[in-house]
Amino acid sequence: MKKKLLSMLLAVAMVATMLTGCGDTTTTTDDTTADDTTADDVTADDDATADDDGGAASGEVQVGIVLPTKDEPRWLQDQAQFEAILGDAGFTNQVLFSQGSSATEKTNVETLISQGIDVLIICAQDGSAAAAAVEAAKDAGVTVIAYDRLITGTEAVDYYVTFDSFSVGVAQGQYLIDNAPEGTGIPLYLYAGAATDNNAFIFFEGAWSVLQPKIADGTFVVANSSEAEGLKDKAELSREEIGKIIGQVTTDWDFNVAKSKAEAHLTAVGADMKGDVLVLGPNDGTARSIADVFATDKDVTSFKVTGQDAEKASVQYVIDGKQSMTVFKDTRTLAADSVAMAVSILNGDTPATDTTYNNEAKDVPAKQTNIVVVTQDNVKEALIDSEYYDASEFTGLE
């Protein structure tokens, strides 16, 4: 058993090192809901038989993974990484997509439970609504790992694997400060993720922690949120106060919502709130939509816009100067950390953690992964030299 455990962990480490961003090679499952998916669709060896080292009986799935949507490159990359690492480690697994629906997410979890999973890795569509799904898993004796997004209001979450979300927001806000034009009264446009996503609150809290002093002293003026302007003298905001700001500037993590909000905000303000502006873009998809809108406004002289996830399209935008920066969160490491945690659980060990996150019901043991700020200056070093992407996928690289 010890020999097999060692080989599994070595396999995890080797594959995690070798994996690259798989945007062009990922094979997606056509059936994204549990209703049309059977145990025959699992990605690891379906002929695995039970043994004294915890192997699955034929037709069983040991690790179930539920991701929010297959319509964003980020989650397809994650799917490929989970399947590769778990498959090479010798564990049967299945990835299902919720496609933006908490009801579908719950159905997916229930189907994975029926297929005999021991570990559930889930990136919740809605951190609060997912509580019912993970409680069903917990009642069935399944160990629950919240992946990237914390599930709130329940004790049914055993572990959490995440990037340091607060640091993501700090990095975005600090970039705007470091690259702001000279003077005072600089227009600042704030945008946020979905109000149903706990991470959106943490990202915004991180950004606010560094932007607030500049707003309070008049260096920056918030152009698109009366709630933020009204709270500009508060260094620390309550969740309710952050929620009020997000209510005005949410993009719902949706490209089209971001585009409509940006258009409405620029239409609503005068020329004094244009010129050289700063834009807190919450992630890459929304940043591109917002950037495209600001680029077409004749009264906007220049703009700096942030993002995160290092999506391929946004990397090209950074190279071309259309998006100012992105926060690179190496999903190879995050997926590998999740798998290492699952392997420990399947072998009866306690997973390694380095912090805790309070989910309003308990302090959840967590493993954090570091982030990297990517700009034109280091895009090659951070994303090409690290083999996350291939240089041939982009134009304009020196």
Tell me, yes or no, whether 96 and 149 share the same domain. yes
Distance CA 36, CA 32 (A): 8
Q: What is the DSSP letter of 93?
A: E
| Neighbour count for residue 69 (Cβ, 10 Å) | 17
Tell me, yes or no, whether 125 and 244 share the same domain. no
Provide the pLDDT for residue 43. 38
Tell me, yes or no, whether 141 and 207 share the same domain. no
Tell me, yes or no, whether 109 and 134 share the same domain. yes
Does pLDDT of 145 surpass 50?
yes
Distance CA 289, CA 264 (A): 13
Looking only at the bridges linking them, the beta strands covering 355-358 and 363-369 are: antiparallel
pTM score above 0.75: no
Distance CA 62, CA 89 (A): 12
- Structure confidence by residue, pLDDT tens digits, 167-199: 999 999 999 999 999 999 999 999 999 998 989
Tell me, yes or no, whether 8 and 148 share the same domain. yes
Of residues 65 and 47, the one with the higher pLDDT is 65
Q: If residue 66 lies in a helix (H) or strand (E), which one and from where to where?
A: strand 63-67
Q: In this structure, is the dihedral angle defined by the CA atoms of residues 337, 239, 266 and 299, taken in order, positive or negative?
A: negative
Q: Is residue 65 part of a domain?
A: yes
Exposed / middle / buried, residue 226 (Cβ in 10 Å: 0-12, 13-18, 19+): exposed
> What DSSP string describes 231-295?
TTT-SS--HHHHHHHHHHHB-TT-HHHHHHHHHHHHHHS-GGG-EEEEEE--SHHHHHHHHHHHH
Q: Is residue 81 part of a domain?
A: yes
Provide the pLDDT for residue 398. 74
Phi and psi based region of residue 300 (left: phi greater than 0; alpha: psi -120 to 50; beta: remaining): beta
Tell me, yes or no, whether 221 and 256 share the same domain. yes
Distance CA 206, CA 280 (A): 12
Tell me, yes or no, whether 316 and 362 share the same domain. no
Q: Is residue 62 part of a domain?
A: yes
Gyration radius (Cα) of the chain, Å: 22
CA distances from 57 to 47, 194, 347, 366 (A): 8, 40, 16, 30
Q: Number of folded domains in the chain?
A: 2
Distance CA 118, CA 124 (A): 18
Tell me, yes or no, whether 173 and 266 share the same domain. yes
- What type of residue is 8? M
- Written as six digits, the tokens of 349 are 């060990």
Q: Is residue 284 part of a domain?
A: yes
Percent of the chain with pLDDT over 90: 77
Which ranges of the chain does DSSP label H, i.e. alpha helix? 2-18, 73-89, 102-114, 131-139, 165-178, 198-216, 226-230, 239-249, 255-268, 284-296, 312-320, 331-346, 379
Provide the pLDDT for residue 38. 33
Looking only at the bridges linking them, the beta strands covering 372-374 and 326-328 are: antiparallel
Q: In this structure, is the dihedral angle defined by the CA atoms of residues 100, 364, 131 and 90, taken in order, positive or negative?
A: positive
Tell me, yes or no, whether 187 and 63 share the same domain. no
Tell me, yes or no, whether 170 and 251 share the same domain. yes
Of residues 39 and 264, the one with the higher pLDDT is 264
Tell me, yes or no, whether 336 and 359 share the same domain. yes
Contact residues for 295 (Cβ-Cβ < 8 A; gap 6+): 303, 322
- Structure confidence by residue, pLDDT tens digits, 238-280: 999 999 999 999 999 999 999 999 999 999 999 999 999 999 9
Tell me, yes or no, whether 280 and 304 share the same domain. yes
The residue-averaged pLDDT of 101-113 equals 97
- What CATH number did the domain enclosing 289 receive? 3.40.50.2300
Q: Is residue 26 part of a domain?
A: yes
Closest CA to 284 of 201, 191, 395, 178: 191
Distance CA 17, CA 387 (A): 10
Full domain range(s) for residue 232: 165-329+376-384+388-393
Q: Is residue 398 part of a domain?
A: no
